Amino acid sequence: MTRTPIAAGNWKMNGTNAEARALCRGLAGIDAIAGVDVVLSPSFTQLGLVWDFWCGTDVHIAGQNMHTQPSGAYTGEVSPVQLAEVADWVIVGHSERRQFFCEDDQALALKLRTAEMNGLTPILCVGESDAERENKRTANVLTRQVSIALGDDPAPDGLVVAYEPVWAIGTGKAATPDEAQSACTHIRSVLSDKLGEEVADGVRILYGGSVKPDNIADFMAQPDVDGALVGGAALDADAFLAITRAIAASG
């Protein structure tokens, strides 16, 4: 099955509004790159201006997180209803949310369904810690995270999964292409067990973790890697454009 690859940029908690506008201007022409879906994920204070900047183009805008309730007394949170006004995608379960904000698999299962109910395409992030990797528990961790997030329901429409080994996030230490392929293959096998082979074959699986212009081609050469969730390099317009072009060329 042909799967359109994805170049997703997670800006995390970086940049002012002025810097976000400058980054968008630096990415001029990214919407014209054929053969790739582009997703930009700015911080909440930048979402509206980034959404407006790319309005009318094929560039997708993603929230970095969301609450499960449509409204209520949840100071500091953003509801899916609010998010859907300035985004069409959402990142769910990024390793930094799991690590620093104690989000567990059950909470993420609810967020995954909330995204679906509010018309937001979810990017479900999964990945093992350094200790889990050293103890050869990568497959077990990925099986647990994917299985609990999906539950017993059909896959959310357009589901995307991102393999993000915790030990590679922001460290400059990327997985090898073989490691990324092995993990993504395992994720697809779990999806197949839960959803059936046909559905699993259509799910796009990304690699994330110290992705750069000089290593993206090696990741994209792997048959089960369908793009990248890019962190630091997404803040550099030239770097992210180069990554996006390389992802598009892989098809």
Catalytic pick among 60, 164, 179, 186: 164
Token pair, residue 235, equals: 């803040």
Predicted confidence (pLDDT) per residue in 57-111, tens digit = 999 999 999 999 999 999 999 999 999 999 999 999 888 887 778 788 888 999 9
CA angle 99/209/203 to nearest 5° reads: 95
Q: The dihedral of CA 91, 93, 99, 103: what is its sign?
A: positive
> Which residue's structure tokens are 């990925």?
142
CA distance from start to end of the chain: 12
Q: Distance (Å, rounded) from C-alpha 189 to C-alpha 84?
A: 31
Token pair, residue 165, equals: 């080994």
pLDDT at position 129 is 84
pLDDT at position 166 is 84
pLDDT at position 167 is 78
Residue 67 a catalytic site member: no
What is the β-pairing status of strands 60-63 and 89-92?
Answer: parallel
CA distances for 154 relative to 17, 92, 142, 191, 196, angstroms:
38, 17, 19, 11, 10
DSSP output for 62-103: EES---SSSSSS-TT---HHHHTTT-SEEEES-HHHHHHH--
Per DSSP, what are the bridge partners of residue 230?
9
Q: Is residue 134 scored above 80 in pLDDT?
A: yes
Residue 94 a catalytic site member: yes
Predicted confidence (pLDDT) per residue in 25-57, tens digit = 999 999 999 999 999 999 999 999 999 999 999
Please say whether the beta carbons of 199 and 161 come within 8 A. no
Q: Distance (Å, rounded) from C-alpha 226 to C-alpha 6?
A: 6
Q: The dihedral of CA 117, 113, 201, 87: what is its sign?
A: positive
Average per-residue pLDDT for the chain: 94
Catalytic pick among 67, 94, 96, 116: 94
